[in-house]
Amino acid sequence: MDLFIQTLINGLLLGGIYISVGIGFALVFGVLEVIDFAVGEYVMVGAFAGSVLAAGLGIDALFVVPLVFVAFYAIGFFVQPFLHHVTTSNVPMPILMALVFTFGVAFFARGGILTTFGPNTREVPTSIATGGVTVSAIGTFPVARVLTGIFGIVAVAAFLYYLYNTKGGLAIRAIAEDRTDARLMGINIARYQSVAYGMYAGLTATAGVFIGIIFAADPGMGMQYTAFAFFMVVLAGMGYLPGIIVSGLVLGVAQAMFSTYVSGAWVFFVLFALVYVVLLVSPQGILGRGEPVS
């Protein structure tokens, strides 16, 4: 029973950080209509950025989090116009071409990191997020995971606050609702799409720092988080933001339970197979609130 509760809590903590990856991804899908194949690579590059900055500046990785957010917000801000250009260009299947573009971004990022840092993993140095917190009668939880879980929840709360309680957030939601209407309402599409994509990139890369603190930065880790992001949006229902909170927690808990009680080796097979099966069986997500996919 203790092991079960411990696994459950570990899973929920992981779920917190997954939500912060999934929610930005889902927002970008809503706003730009683009499925970003590079999502996992933002996590990966974020983890490397955390590692390099912390080591370079000689400070704890936790303190470089704001730096990473700002840097990736800026990167995302200037990547968005490219996607916007492709989705509105006069090619057949513009949305699919944008998807191919993000496929290119993913390879560019992965190859760039591999070339610069080699194939080995790198530690994301922290002295604060070490050791464990003991909760009586349940067990000990690594501080890194606890902080990560807390960060995930706070980041998502801040993100949702921005989206639902500010003028900028209103503009972004208006664009997600209907781009043409939003333009007619006088909203600067280019700017707010860039803000949305920047926040997504920033949030995802920051999540990468925390994931790096727990597991280390690995040039090959991106694909896994791309799969996680797909899994979350597919499970939540495409384009349905609140569903991400549920599906992120489901993902975290399922991963923890599966590793503890079944076998770590089968985790990825099950994950990919589930993405595939959910798309086919429940095309509007388990909550039935997403847009149909067929």
Partner 1 sequence: MSKREGSLPPRLESIVYTADGDGYDWRLAWGIVAVLLVAIPWLGAGTFELRILIGVLMWIGLAQSWNMIGGYAGYLDFGHGAYFGIGAFVTGIAMVSLSLPFLPALVLAGIFGAVFAYAIGVPTLRLKGAYFAIATWAFAEAMRQLALLLDITGGTSGLTLPSTMAAFGIPLPDLPRVIYLYYIMLVLSVGVVVLTYVLFEHHEFGYKVKAVRDNEDAAESLGIDATRIKRQVYVLSCTTAAVLGGAYAFYITFVHPQEVLDSMITAQMVIMALVGGLGTILGPIIGGALIFLLDRLSALYFGSDTMYISLMGLLIMLVVLFAPDGIVGLLTGETDASDIRSNLNSLLEKFKFQ
Binding site for partner 1 (CB under 8 A): 35, 78, 81-82, 84-86, 89, 91-93, 95-101, 103-112, 114-115, 119, 188, 190-191, 194, 223, 227, 230, 234, 238, 265-266, 268-269, 272-273, 275-276, 279-280, 283, 293-294
CB of 59 to partner 1, least distance (A): 29
Closest to partner 1 by CB, 9 or 195: 195
Q: Which amino acid is at 42?
A: Y
Q: Is residue 44 within 8 Å of residue 113, measured between CB atoms?
A: yes
Give the separation between CA 110 and CA 115, rounded to whole angstroms: 9
Nearest to 169, CA basis, from 263, 241, 88: 241
Closest to partner 1 by CB, 12 or 232: 232
CB of 149 to partner 1, least distance (A): 27
Closest to partner 1 by CB, 66 or 220: 220
CB of 262 to partner 1, least distance (A): 12
Closest to partner 1 by CB, 84 or 179: 84
CB of 28 to partner 1, least distance (A): 13
CB of 17 to partner 1, least distance (A): 21
Position of tokens 């597991």?
215
Closest to partner 1 by CB, 7 or 226: 226
Closest to partner 1 by CB, 238 or 251: 238
CB of 113 to partner 1, least distance (A): 9
Which structure tokens are listed for 2? 């203790």
